[in-house]
Homo-oligomer: A and B are copies of this chain.
């Protein structure tokens, strides 16, 4: 077990009921590990499923030494309550089986650990689970499954025999729960035994038609020796199934697949179709027995894989759409993983065959990130939000397209269609999986863009839906232009730029026509935006985005071979920035220039707006540098930090949505330090969005206000403590909200990272002037950047390439000497 970086991360006790670490790959769905070590939130069926539990699915251990009574325990910490469900607990939760006194959970992404403590259990057990994750390799980061291990240490002076059993219900055809909390399944399921060279286990099937949305397979297997199986628990009445299983396992630590019942049962069964009475799920179990010598540790390894290939083709979100889906009115499209694997057993074989490599490569990432000198809170903000990419907020279809909701509700997505004004903030995928991010730009500029250059802010057409008809979002459209620039620079993919440039140019011209009514290159017309309303008049959020887009277009036009356009956009970029500064700068920050902020609802007027420099943020994160005067940028960020960071959110009296409250600190979206709050300011103005907090934090860091930026990050992460919120989900309009992916910019800001693959230059300009280490990545490779002062006081930099290639001819750093190390070792690519 690898506990190298345990001291760098927070730990969550078993009572941290909100902590849930998502296993599963990109576009595969998930199952989560809770702080008690339980498997929870089964979301493997192409739908979000917070709270979805699989009955009878858990691990347990039986420990016995010579002359001692065996001790059999479920490998989960005790249920802390409340115990107030209408029936106490669901039958399938088996709440009355003995559990362990305490647990501690931590994670070094993509690995999660749960350590158990219990005086009655003679061994020390730690669970370890992960799904392989390798930057730049979306395929190997997209395996529909997870490895689950238990490390069992024998601290006694005598040898012990330990049996570890895992049970998993076959929930294929999952159609929710009945009023008894039992699974409703479409079709009939079967569990079969399978052996392969690398593993042995159970393959779960259903008799549903392979084209049906609920069709699929699940595999549950181990690579261990000395294994016994139960293909399916006894099909009795009431609790016969679990009673028999537990008695069987507890008696000798082995499973007997031939047990039956012959005694007559209950009359009710002859008479009434009472779901609680008859176990309809088929629950399979796998037990592994090992002898653990005194003082030694043994590991018991299991894996779960799934393959539920067909997802509804479309964006199903609101009640009407759910009803249409229930009525069968959506076609299906396959998940990308279905193009790589025929069924769950094939996934299982591949996972086992390549596990050493997959795990080693995953650990290289862990080491690169957690082994850095980045502050703990930054590592946490970057790493934990990677979860978004592998949650149901995102999906990945057979045609290679990658999609994002804004976030997810418990059981359905929220915010359809790669919403450009929300994804505007996100950086993580652009850096870690740039090929996926590029599909989003292609969908926008090659699929959605109107002939006149208007970009619908929801991309619906590529999934066969009608075009989103509303006015384009000014922030989303301008940001998308900058993001094309970013994708091009991070990939060096000139063909990508060539393909998209005509559309980008059209979109830029549209933006100028549509939002700049007076020709000063500052948006002043009706500006629809991410607050789901429209701004009027000049403001720096849209102004900085326009300046950034123009600057990006100037560079792209040149590269696309259109020098006239390059000149036009260069001129406009300068004019845009100058005019914005003149119009909106109030000496302390950028205001909205509007004579009567109450003439329209939802303005902010003289307010200090946290997103006033969103364009500047995007410019930095994309490598465009300053688009507004650096001193004003820095002053404005100071003003945001001073005015909008609230120590105790209870002092903010608001009727808006609430993401921070009571004595929690938070950065509100707007404040009015000099008064002038409109009667109806924009309806999210009092809200605290982690995506904006990170945007501001990264912007502060870019401007050298590092401590302020880190303070903000600490506040955000402090609110996600496992008790009040899930450390692996920052919520806004949904769990795992996409805007939180702005967090990756904390890393690029601290690293001073600018990538220009087309130009062959990569720049590291860390905020730290001395010793410093960080993970880096771009479209062709990833690794670690290190700088340290040697004994002579010279700054020495080392650029280590762990996977892929350096990708540039020139590396710029503040160091006196630079060394490039490229890996050629097992597991590296």
Residues of A within 8 A of B (CB): 17-18, 50, 72, 78-79, 81-89, 91, 93-99, 178-179, 184, 236-240, 242-247, 250, 261, 263-268, 271-272, 275, 277, 317-319, 322, 407-410, 412, 414, 469-471, 526, 528, 532-534, 598-602, 649-650, 652-659, 661-662, 679-680, 683, 686, 723-726, 729, 731-735
Cα distance A422–B21 when bound, in Å?
43
- Contact call A319/B94, Cβ cutoff below 8 A: no
Cα distance A277–B654 when bound, in Å?
17
Q: Knowing A318-B179, A653-B246 are in contact, say whether A659-B88 is a contact too (CB < 8 A).
A: yes
- Contact call B318/A83, Cβ cutoff below 8 A: no
- Contact call B533/A266, Cβ cutoff below 8 A: yes
- Contact call A263/B85, Cβ cutoff below 8 A: no
Q: Knowing A267-B471, A655-B97 are in contact, say whether A238-B532 is a contact too (CB < 8 A).
A: yes
Cα distance A244–B601 when bound, in Å?
13
CB distance from A161 to the nearest CB of B (A): 20
Q: Knowing A86-B410, A87-B734, A601-B237 are in contact, say whether A267-B655 is a contact too (CB < 8 A).
A: no
- Contact call B96/A652, Cβ cutoff below 8 A: yes
- Contact call B83/A247, Cβ cutoff below 8 A: no
**Copies of this chain, tallied across the complex:** 2
Cα distance A94–B656 when bound, in Å?
7
Q: Knowing A97-B654, A654-B97, A724-B83 are in contact, say whether A179-B319 is a contact too (CB < 8 A).
A: yes
- Contact call A50/B86, Cβ cutoff below 8 A: yes
* Chain B neighbourhood of A17, CB < 8 A: 82
- Contact call B601/A261, Cβ cutoff below 8 A: yes
Pick the most buried of A99, A656, A724: most chain B CB atoms within 10 A of its CB. A656
* Chain B neighbourhood of A237, CB < 8 A: 601, 683
- Contact call A265/B79, Cβ cutoff below 8 A: no
- Contact call B600/A238, Cβ cutoff below 8 A: no
Tell me what chain A mostly uses at the interface: helix, strand, loop, or mixed.
loop
* Chain B neighbourhood of A407, CB < 8 A: 86
- Contact call A414/B86, Cβ cutoff below 8 A: yes
* Chain B neighbourhood of A85, CB < 8 A: 731
Q: Knowing A318-B178, A470-B272, A650-B78 are in contact, say whether A261-B686 is a contact too (CB < 8 A).
A: no
Q: Knowing A98-B650, A661-B95 are in contact, say whether A179-B409 is a contact too (CB < 8 A).
A: yes
- Contact call A263/B179, Cβ cutoff below 8 A: no
Q: Knowing A266-B601, A655-B242 are in contact, say whether A662-B97 is a contact too (CB < 8 A).
A: no
- Contact call B409/A86, Cβ cutoff below 8 A: yes
- Contact call A602/B657, Cβ cutoff below 8 A: no
- Contact call A317/B179, Cβ cutoff below 8 A: yes
* Chain B neighbourhood of A246, CB < 8 A: 653, 655
Q: Knowing A78-B650, A98-B650 are in contact, say whether A735-B86 is a contact too (CB < 8 A).
A: yes
* Chain B neighbourhood of A78, CB < 8 A: 650, 661-662
Cα distance A146–B169 when bound, in Å?
47
Cα distance A661–B317 when bound, in Å?
39
Residue of B94, B247, B654 near A96 (CB, 8 A) is B654
* Chain B neighbourhood of A598, CB < 8 A: 263
Cα distance A239–B265 when bound, in Å?
59
Q: Knowing A263-B680, A318-B179 are in contact, say whether A79-B661 is a contact too (CB < 8 A).
A: yes
- Contact call A88/B731, Cβ cutoff below 8 A: yes
- New A-B pairs, 20, CB < 8 Å, besides A86-B407, A87-B733, A239-B683: A18-B84, A50-B86, A79-B661, A83-B724, A84-B725, A84-B729, A85-B731, A86-B414, A88-B657, A88-B659, A89-B657, A96-B661, A96-B686, A97-B653, A184-B319, A238-B602, A239-B656, A263-B598, A268-B533, A272-B470
* Chain B neighbourhood of A275, CB < 8 A: 318
Cα distance A469–B317 when bound, in Å?
44
A-B contact list, 16 entries, CB within 8 Å = A50-B86, A78-B662, A79-B662, A83-B724, A84-B729, A86-B408, A86-B409, A86-B410, A86-B414, A87-B409, A91-B657, A95-B658, A99-B650, A179-B317, A179-B322, A246-B655
- Contact call A655/B723, Cβ cutoff below 8 A: no
* Chain B neighbourhood of A653, CB < 8 A: 72, 96-98, 246, 250
